[in-house]
Chains A and B, each alone.
Chain A
């Protein structure tokens, strides 16, 4: 390609091809956006690279993250020497797969026999609920994964400043007056109102560092249950981030209805899977970029981590304290907490405990059900 003579394409084709490349890079470019782009480039001078770049910023992008992606594609698309950004080589993780529940018993036997089998399986499921997810055999893991569907996630609600019409409560003076004015000032029925409620936002921050690798998969499944609990496109809702050496937003990836595909998508978008832990810095990045802007304000923030902090413990404590001031409730989930003989001796855990509203275990399905309940009642 680089040695052959450059092929001349008509301008429109090059630009439309570029919009496709930008879309492939993850920017939501639609037909009308592409059309707007052509229009904008025609208005500016197509020969001026800076102008073409700005036209792309204005018409194709919809957020600061889009701007970076656009520029990356722009540099390579309009520079024949460059190469298109390759997707990062991903280490092969076996895709989690659902397997059939193994038959524990052959056929045959009367009613009494099947009854026994069912009961035995039920209690087996109960045992599995309390097993540590990091120590499960692959077959048990597959069964447990299916059981995550039983988690009924509910989003907590908060009071709003807006009132709703109600048949009791306080007198809705404006509505009553307006109704009576509509009747030419004659007194009419009295309207009543009460404060409305709104779903409270839930923010999940999941530690995916090496020390949490046994639990990251299960935690993402819990997160997926939370994300699928709220309707698509709602302005409130659930936000999920992974923290490790850096902060990654995986809400979009987890929006897929099928848990397996959602988890694969989330795994692809997390660059620091099983890496080190710089919890304090990641939390700071979260609060700076998202939390203080309003994402964490009044929200229920769940941090799932074992508290093995390699960075500055004071920074971690300061950031959690800051989160607690912003958020409605900060819940810390520690997979080791539910184990026998656990003491919160890690420096990270000790530093954050004073700033945490709830300190929960998080190693088995039963503890995740408890977490769901705590969040729903927050």
Chain B
């Protein structure tokens, strides 16, 4: 990315990964074609991230479709997706690269057996790219253009965030034995976080931010229709209406996300339900809520809802 002295007068060059996406409307259409139904503000942010070549930080409740958005972006741009799942204790060897020690040893033993190579050649042959195990970040740089999904970055430690910062600002990785790997085209980077802790401001500042909320009624019906086309329209609507009421009013410990709505709709469809009734709902409630207390609350709430 170039640094423009007066950014509002110079229109930045579009990132190569985003080439072909003309406008926000175009991107919305492309995402819709992959089955991802999002609102305009989400599409605008994604489009800005593509055009400005910035990473995209997605936050929101679990089950609101953060990870699937990254997948949809990859599909709509026809790019490969490389996923880095973060966890406590993840470090550079699990994110960047590692040397394949057993194969290096094997290589040396083979040379020994053949008895040909000089010491210097054998040594040089060891640090070859074929002995390099590319972990997600390096893989994304090598495969670029690609989509790099850094999933649940809030689970990783602070040190890892600092390391990400370095990679995200330069899009290059230095391997002492081989040299520097630079992405031909900066990858499209998507970070997701469940907000179990506050991310560092330095990392947030590099990214464009979007908060994914639970969708409204019409949009959620659209999502169910698009993601689970086998579910009948009438049933889908009944399910979504019920879920939306449960989310707002039933005081659940863990309000169901869109993922749970989809699971529930599919479960009901599999049982051959055409109309949401108390009996079928009670049998499938495990797809919707995952706490015993919640299951009871859902039953009483549905009782009232379906009686009315």
Assuming the contacts A43-B11, A181-B101, A292-B253, asked whether A57 and B45 have C-beta atoms less than 8 A apart, the reply is: yes
Contact check, B7 vs A38: say whether CB atoms are below 8 A apart: yes
Q: How far is the CA of A50 from the CA of B24 in the complex (A)?
A: 13
Contact check, B44 vs A51: say whether CB atoms are below 8 A apart: yes
B71 within 8 A of A: no
**CB-contact partner of A57 in B41, B54, B196, under 8 A:** B41
Query: Taking the nearest CB of chain A, how far is it from the CB of B98, in angstroms?
Result: 10
Contact check, B45 vs A33: say whether CB atoms are below 8 A apart: no
A interface, size bucket: 35 or more
Query: Taking the nearest CB of chain A, how far is it from the CB of B59, in angstroms?
Result: 7
Contact check, B45 vs A54: say whether CB atoms are below 8 A apart: yes
B304 within 8 A of A: no
A235 within 8 A of B: yes
Chain A interface, >50% SS class: helix
Contact check, A43 vs B209: say whether CB atoms are below 8 A apart: no
Q: How far is the CA of A67 from the CA of B157 in the complex (A)?
A: 26
Contact residues, A123-138 vs B (CB, 8 A): none
Q: How far is the CA of A178 from the CA of B104 in the complex (A)?
A: 12
Residues of B within 8 A of A235 (CB): 157-158, 197
A293 within 8 A of B: yes
**Interface stretch of the complex, out of B198-206, B237-245, B267-275:** B198-206
A39 within 8 A of B: yes
One digit per residue, 1 when the CB lies within 8 angstroms of any chain B CB and 0 when it does not, for chain A 33-50 equals 101101111111000001
Contact residues, A79-123 vs B (CB, 8 A): none
By beta carbon, the residue of chain A nearest B12 is A39
**Interface stretch of the complex, out of A58-66, A148-156, A269-277:** A58-66
Contact check, A36 vs B52: say whether CB atoms are below 8 A apart: yes
Residues of A within 8 A of B228 (CB): none
Residues of B within 8 A of A328 (CB): none
Query: Taking the nearest CB of chain B, how far is it from the CB of A209, in angstroms?
Result: 23
By beta carbon, the residue of chain B nearest A196 is B89
Contact residues, B170-205 vs A (CB, 8 A): 194-198, 200-201, 204-205
A185 within 8 A of B: yes
Contact check, B89 vs A162: say whether CB atoms are below 8 A apart: yes
Contact check, B194 vs A58: say whether CB atoms are below 8 A apart: no
Contact check, B48 vs A44: say whether CB atoms are below 8 A apart: yes
B295 within 8 A of A: no
One digit per residue, 1 when the CB lies within 8 angstroms of any chain A CB and 0 when it does not, for chain B 92-111 equals 00000000011001001000
Residues of A within 8 A of B4 (CB): 39
Q: How far is the CA of A38 from the CA of B12 in the complex (A)?
A: 11
Q: How far is the CA of A171 from the CA of B89 in the complex (A)?
A: 19
Q: How far is the CA of A64 from the CA of B212 in the complex (A)?
A: 10
Residues of B within 8 A of A62 (CB): 201, 204-205, 209
B129 within 8 A of A: no
Q: How far is the CA of A284 from the CA of B200 in the complex (A)?
A: 27
**CB-contact partner of B102 in A38, A181, A234, under 8 A:** A181
Contact check, B89 vs A161: say whether CB atoms are below 8 A apart: yes
Q: How far is the CA of A181 from the CA of B109 in the complex (A)?
A: 12
Nearest 5 Cβ contacts at the A-B interface: A294-B196, A58-B208, A181-B101, A62-B204, A58-B45
Instruction: List 5 A-B residue pairs with CB atoms under 8 Å apart, sorted by A's residue number.
Output: A39-B4, A50-B41, A62-B204, A62-B205, A67-B211
13 new A-B pairs (CB below 8 Å) besides A54-B44, A55-B44? Answer: A15-B8, A39-B7, A41-B8, A44-B48, A54-B41, A57-B45, A61-B211, A161-B88, A181-B102, A233-B200, A293-B195, A294-B154, A294-B196
